[in-house]
A and B are shown apart, each in its own frame.
Chain A
Amino acid sequence: MISGKYRKITGSKATALGLVAASQKSGLQLIYGGYPITPASEILHELAGYKHLGVKAMQMEDEIAAISVAIGASYSGALGATGSSGPGLCLKSEAINLAVMAELPLIVCNIQRAGPSTGVPTGTEQADLLQMLFGRSGESPVPVLAASNSADCFETIYEACRIAIRYMTPVIFLSEGHIARGMEIWRIPNVSELPKIEVHFRTDPEGFAPYQRDPVTLARPWAVPGTAGLEHRIGGLEKDDTGNVSFEPENHEAMTRSRAEKVARIVQDIPPSEIFGEPLGQMLVIGWGGTCSTLRKAVENKQQAGASISHLHLRYLNPLPGDLEDILDRFDKVLIPELNMGQLLKIIRARYLVDASGLGKVQGQIFRVPEIEARIEEVLK
């Protein structure tokens, strides 16, 4: 353990503090729109208590308004954030697409609960992954990051904020009911040790175009109301570099590909993957989100029993780490346990043409170590 001051923290609190830290570090106002929903309400409660830090948290009239107020805040030059759970995310999807088209930084927290519709509100699950990746109309690329435990919510959402601002994009932060409610030991970081979050508001009217892209990140300039000489119009309609509406066929394709390429380029910011165990072997267990510690324990037990097995945890789910393809090549078998019916499994199989196996559980409950061990044995046979 690194020396420092530690405390216990819930996922909800760590999420709220991660947002506050990103706001403080970037110098941006934090404006959070929320609507009561289990298990995401606690983030709203936490942020409503940080008025002394300048946080503006609003309980809005519905889920759509909650994300809309955040989009308006981002348009106006603040760090806009919203949070909900699956049913709320369904309602927010059109507004997420507005942020995709307007190319504004925005944080969308999805604290996953179990089941479709009202489902099992107090249950935990990881079944919204495909919805977060693909559940919007049109070609709609959105970065997705997932926290691995309660304490990790802080770092993961902080990273989500950094990416959102650097790439001018909405970012989805995935957590789970048991992470939000659960408690972990967390080392209180110093503000100085957190990664920099640089904000560049455009002020120079010379050569300004609202969708002129940065050559490295493909991000468009953030030109906020109140800046003289940069008056312009943007919106949900397809546009060209000027922000004005354009339905030209080639322009639509070029803009669609630019938006996709921008999100794909986030891969350049993803650190090298850390494999628990040998970098090659007979089996790689891949997981994401709140199953991390359970998978780690099961793999550790199997390693101690002599198995050639390693564990890889993914924080970045879109884009996936650039070294993932290489890593997959180095293992004979791949097992992907998830609290769903095989959603990351579908992605990995489709993208890398790997004959990976899965383990799905949808009981509103977390995995137990013996369940993982049993499936490892089965796949290794």
Chain B
Amino acid sequence: MKSGYSATQNSQYSLLDCSASPLPESTKHDFESDQDIIWCPGCGNYSILTQIQHILPELGVPRENFVFVSGTGCSGRFPYYIDTYGFHTIHGRAPAIATGVKIAHPELSVWVITGDGDALAIGGNHFIHLMRRNLDINVLLFNNRIYGLTKGQCSPTSERGKVTKSTPMGSLEKPLNPISLALATGATFVARTLDQDPEHLQNIIEAAFQHKGTAFVEICQNCCTFNNHEFSQYTAEGTRLEHTVFLKHRKPLVFGNHRDKGIRLNGLRTEVVSLIAGRFSMADLMIHDQFSEDPTHAQILARMVETSGLPYPIGIFRSVEYPCYEELMNQQINDAKLQMIGVDLPVFREAL
């Protein structure tokens, strides 16, 4: 597997001594549950599930230490299909429930599976505060820009003017930008990937896992029943290279079928420039820096989707180190205990 996406390569499992007794080899098959999958045939979720089942055996974590927590929506069924610990909770609350799981046992590998309605509408509050606290939890947001389970209402990421069952004359609302929102909360790892790009999806998920802190991954996911082809221009052969730009650390932002275009920073605005017209060269392009402490660079990239004509950025926008909440909490507890050494037990009496 490729790694090298993350600023931090050290394992997040300090409590698990994997070196002493090597884990038995596990395979994708070990992570498949015996449940029939109820997603529509052709749903982008199948690809996401498969890539995650492929990557988990390679992460060096015992299967019993994985916990998948989901909210409600089509993505909510995800835990039932993966043979680890799983908790299908209530609409929007998975980040808060996952926080409790992680606080109790920081050695667990905790994953939140959510959707655009679940994370950004009903659960918006928990979503932003999880990232603000920076617990070491991976959040995978399956963004299909529609409410699928409830059969086709507009979501917080649906584009303005979108005709759905709840917006027959078109949506009046400006869509939320999940990457920009995540960056605004101070999220320490923010990335976007595509359900139809298995290799990129696997790499990003592994990088999210390796990141110590809340890792937010937006996965553009096709809802073939209620919002088909929403992301096709970013995934289909022929159009995808013209409409996406893949973010690579320390590399200039180049895209196009013939890699003949780039993104140049003009003041605080991004613009497309031709690399063959003679006026601009590689040296004029924006260089991606995913480790930038200042989120401004990442935020500029995140806002590119709001200007027409710019390619859709895919990849890791930001990856920085910052202390994790659960570690800070345990540190406070240890400090408080040290101050109490020598005090007579039973301990709870001393609280009086």
Give the residues in chain A near B105, CB-CB below 8 Å.
Answer: 76-77, 224-226
Q: Does residue A85 face the partner (Cβ distance < 8 Å to B)?
A: no
Binary interface profile of A, 11-36, with partner B (CB < 8 Å = 1, else 0)?
00000010011001000010101000
Cβ-defined contact, B64 with A230, below 8 A: yes
With contacts A52-B336, A231-B83, A234-B88 taken as known, whether A69 is within 8 angstroms of B96 at the C-beta atoms is: yes
Q: Find out whether the CB atom of A236 lies under 8 angstroms from the CB atom of B125.
A: no
Interface of chain A: mostly helix, strand, loop or mixed = mixed
Which residues of chain A are within 8 angstroms of B351 by Cβ–Cβ distance? 17, 20, 49-50, 53
Among A54-62, A161-169, A258-266, the stretch that binds chain B is A54-62
Beta-carbon contact of A234 and B87 below 8 Å: yes
- A225-244: which have CB < 8 Å to B? 225-237, 244
Q: How far is the CA of A312 from the CA of B322 in the complex (A)?
A: 57
Q: How many residues does chain B have at the interface if contact means C-beta atoms less than 8 Å apart?
A: 52
Residues of A within 8 A of B65 (CB): 225-226
B100:A244 contact, CB within 8 angstroms = no
The distance in angstroms between the C-alpha atoms of A68 and B101, with both chains bound, is: 10
Residues from chain A with a CB closer than 8 A to the CB of B329 are 56
- Alpha-carbon gap, A68 to B130, bound state (A): 12
Question: In the complex, are the beta carbons of B104 and A72 less than 8 A apart?
Answer: yes
B215 interfacial contact with A, CB 8 Å:
no
B87 with A226: CB separation less than 8 A: no
Is A298 interfacial (CB 8 A cutoff)?
no
Query: Taking the complex as formed, is A70 at the interface, i.e. its CB lies under 8 A from any CB of chain B?
Result: yes
* CB-nearest residue of chain B to A227: B64
B324 CB-CB contact with A under 8 Å: no
**Which of B93, B102, B347, B352 counts the most chain A CB atoms within 10 A?**
B93
A98: chain B residues at CB < 8 Å are 89-90, 93
Max chain A C-beta neighbours (<10 A), residue from B332, B348, B351: B348
Contacts of A62 on B, CB cut-off 8 Å? 125
- Report whether A76 and B104 are in contact in the complex, using a CB–CB cutoff of 8 Å: yes
Report whether B89 and A232 are in contact in the complex, using a CB–CB cutoff of 8 Å: no
Can you list 28 A-B contacts (CB < 8 A)?
A20-B348, A24-B347, A33-B96, A51-B335, A52-B336, A52-B339, A53-B351, A61-B126, A62-B125, A64-B93, A69-B99, A72-B102, A75-B101, A76-B103, A78-B100, A102-B87, A190-B346, A225-B64, A225-B67, A225-B108, A226-B108, A228-B62, A228-B63, A233-B33, A233-B85, A234-B88, A235-B80, A245-B35
**Residues of A in contact with B (beta carbons under 8 Å apart):** 7, 17, 20-21, 24, 29, 31, 33, 49-54, 56, 58, 60-62, 64-65, 68-78, 80, 94-95, 98, 102, 188, 190-191, 224-237, 244-245
Tell me the B residues contacting A by CB distance below 8 Å: 33, 35, 62-67, 69-70, 79-80, 83-90, 93, 96-105, 107-108, 125-126, 128-129, 329, 332-333, 335-337, 339-340, 346-352
Q: Given contacts A71-B89, A228-B63, could you give 20 more A-B pairs where the C-beta distance is less than 8 Å?
A: A20-B351, A24-B347, A52-B339, A53-B347, A54-B337, A64-B96, A65-B93, A68-B96, A70-B100, A72-B98, A73-B103, A188-B349, A225-B85, A226-B107, A228-B64, A231-B85, A233-B33, A234-B88, A235-B88, A236-B90
